A and B are shown apart, each in its own frame.
Chain A
Amino acid sequence: MAATGFLLRSHLQDLLDALVAVGYRCVGPQVRDGAVCYDTLREAADLPWGWRDAQNPGTYRLRQTGGAYAFAWANGPQGLKPLLFAPRELLQTSIRAPDGGLRFAAPVASVGAMAVVGVRACDLAALRLLDQHFIGGFVPDPHYAARRADLFLIAVHCSHPAATCFCVSTGDGPRAEQGFDLALGETEAGFVVFAGSAAGAGLAERLPLRPAQAAEEAFVDAALADAVKAQTRSLPSRDLRAGLFGNLRHPRWEAVASRCLSCGNCTAVCPTCFCHGEGEEVAADGASSARYRQWDSCFTQEHSAIHGMVIRADTRQRYRQWLTHKLGSWHGQYGRSGCVGCGRCITWCPVGIDITEEAAAVCAGTP
């Protein structure tokens, strides 16, 4: 993809201002509670300048290096998921009249246009999967659709993967190849800008870009090549259906279950996990009731409970469900694995269970 131009670091604020001028609320990465998180972004100065991360199974650490880069870190716990598939959403209100009559309404919150700065390739891939799930099905979800409709995505090519990243092996990174409006490749002096859509090209015209120099583009390419080489983890294959479903009684399931806490952290941070539960909350006066949905996890008992029995009663069955779904059944549902190699589930697992290790152990010996 040919570069559209070069944006000096000192002009990054112009990008945010241009987005606000055309009506977007900007969201971008910022350091919050010791992690890089997405939040409303007004000042380019609030980006994680100089911060570097160290991620390993079960651990995440940030440190300030004083360096010149804003994006020299790999993804924190959040992806795009919480911005589009809200952790909690009002689905329906019911009003009961004194005569017992019921009236129902399904409000869709108006959210306005949102621009997200700093999106990584793995999260763009996860977004394509969430799109398939929430709006590509036979009953599109209006809440997700409303948030998705006016979304402007500014990607950043990943130059500093974490030790937990394995997007190369899933085919989803580190370069942002598609699904963005603008992509940035960071250099010492600023950003090589690539337009990925008509909206992105339109916005680029409002920016004080100068032509990108060949050396700057080469620097970005070299950083991406280094990022590829830096990844040490990988999945044995992009399609593990046979290996997983052919080994449902593998002793490894028992072994991983003895470590897994069934806490559901992995499913919460996973950018493609979509499970949620619905529940009813009655107003104090009893005259109205609201139905909410909330993120749920296949690691909970309630997830699979039907009357008088729980389909997945123990951790072995739950971990196995998670892995066989994520790396197996997703192929049947959405045409590819549900894992984009972001490594979040490895970093944020309190006991450091590594999905790549577990998958390799279960599938070992299966072609």
Chain B
Amino acid sequence: MRGDAMTEPQLLHEAVVIERIQESPVIFTLRLSFTDPELQAGYRFEPGQFNMVGLYGVGQSPISIVSDPQDERLLDHTIRGLGRVTLGLSRLAAGDRVGLRGPYGRGWPLAQAQGRDIVLITGGLGCAPAVSVIRYVLRRRERFGYLTILQGVKHADDLIWRRQYAQWSAFPDVHVGLAADVGAPGWFGVVGPVTALFDQAPIRAGSLVMMCGPEIMMRVVAAELVRRGIDENDMWLSMERNMHCATGLCGHCQIGPHFVCRDGPVFRYPELKALLGERGF
């Protein structure tokens, strides 16, 4: 964060939409850049961290940063248009302005992942925080071991970004597995829960696991991985909660003692184990 974060921790800064990309009927990417070149040049983040993106007169939403941390020109935000802020953002075009503040939170443990196999397990309707990791690893292929990407969806039709999965699986030492609880004609993946992919996937002891998606799914997956010899301390989860401030003050994002905006959104599994998937937390 900038030096003035101490006195103006919540201040938005103007950013301009450089490009807007439609990824699927409801998903789009805004490529943003701070209009203050100094601010843009000094901005540093880690995959898994997020920004608060402010739509003038409407509000602010926490959105993961999916561009590469070494790209000094652009900050990519891939967004699903759902409610007031995100649908408003979906109507923006190149040249439009937004407010931006961040980055916030703790990102993925990429330093720890160096030289190791990585297993990424995602569930539900796409998962922006996971995309940032996949791209990061693929751009630095030699620094990491085998990359396994497992994605589970409820219904086969829910799978978005089919194209991306195909592209990713073309990289060396990458395994992609797709599962749908409910199949559909032409479904090329497995029918069943995401854990049904584990037998075919190269999940080796010593792998570092990163997950995001429904909490019940993550709880089931974590238990299954423990059975397969993965150390609980090598499992990391990205969490989602209501957020207003992103600075550990408003209290909305709490899970037990954790403030997701500050202590997360990425957590080590043992930190959350007791409350993961526990309704009401």
Contacts and interface: CB of A to CB of B under 8 A. Distances in A.
B98 to A, nearest CB: 8
Given A92-B10, A104-B99, A278 B56 contact: no
B248 A137 contact: yes
Given A138-B248, A304-B252, A280 B59 contact: yes
A316 B95 CA distance: 48
A94 B99 contact: yes
B138 to A, nearest CB: 29
Interface in B41-75: 54, 56-60
Interface stretch (B1-9, B173-181, B191-199): B1-9
Contacts of A317: 279-280
A280 B262 contact: no
Contact of A104 (B14, B256, B274, B278): B14
A291 B98 CA distance: 15
B82 A138 contact: no
A115 B271 CA distance: 42
A248 B281 CA distance: 11
A138 B274 CA distance: 26
Nearest to B83: A307
Say which size band chain A's interface belongs to: 35 or more
A298 B242 CA distance: 12
B242 A303 contact: yes
A140 interface: yes
A298 B251 contact: yes
B97 A92 contact: no
A103 B59 CA distance: 15
Contacts of A134: 249
B251 A104 contact: no
Contacts of A101: 14, 35, 97
A11 interface: no
Contact of B57 (A286, A306, A312): A286
A322 to B, nearest CB: 11
B10 to A, nearest CB: 6
By DSSP majority rule, is chain B's interface helix, strand, loop, or mixed? loop
B247 A275 contact: no
A102 B9 contact: no
B37 interface: no
Contacts of A307: 82-83
A293 B246 CA distance: 13
Nearest to B5: A139
Name the residue among A105, A137, A312, A318 with the largest chain B CB count within 10 angstroms.
A137
A291 B56 CA distance: 10
Contacts of B257: 329-333
B23 interface: no
Interface in B228-281: 240-242, 244-245, 247-252, 254, 256-259, 262, 274, 278-281
Interface string B111-147: 0000000000000000000000000000000000000
B224 interface: no
B23 to A, nearest CB: 18
B158 interface: no
A325 interface: yes
By DSSP majority rule, is chain A's interface helix, strand, loop, or mixed? mixed
Given A102-B56, A276-B250, A278-B244, A91 B10 contact: yes
Nearest to B10: A91
Given A91-B10, A138-B262, A307-B83, A329 B57 contact: no
A45 interface: no
A104 B83 CA distance: 24
B254 A329 contact: yes
Contacts of B58: 280
Interface string A239-264: 00000010010000000000000000
A111 interface: no
A276 B251 CA distance: 7
A134 B250 CA distance: 10
Given A94-B12, A101-B14, A312-B280, A306 B99 contact: no
B242 A304 contact: yes
Contacts of B244: 276-278, 293
A98 to B, nearest CB: 12
B96 interface: yes
Contact of A133 (B60, B95, B249): B249
Contact of A102 (B14, B242, B248): B14
A245 B281 CA distance: 11
A43 interface: no
Contacts of A333: 257, 259
Contact of A141 (B9, B97, B258): B9
B154 interface: no
Nearest to B104: A139
Nearest to B95: A100
B11 interface: yes
Contact of A289 (B56, B83, B252): B56
A128 to B, nearest CB: 17
13 contacts: A96-B57, A104-B13, A137-B249, A138-B248, A139-B9, A139-B247, A142-B7, A274-B249, A277-B244, A296-B251, A303-B242, A305-B242, A316-B280
State the 6 A-B residue pairs at the shortest beta-carbon distance, nearest first.
A332-B257, A317-B280, A275-B251, A139-B247, A139-B9, A329-B257
Given A304-B252, A311-B280, 12 more contacts: A94-B54, A96-B56, A102-B12, A137-B262, A139-B5, A277-B252, A293-B250, A306-B240, A320-B280, A329-B256, A330-B257, A332-B257
Interface of B: 5-14, 35, 54, 56-60, 82-83, 95-99, 240-242, 244-245, 247-252, 254, 256-259, 262, 274, 278-281
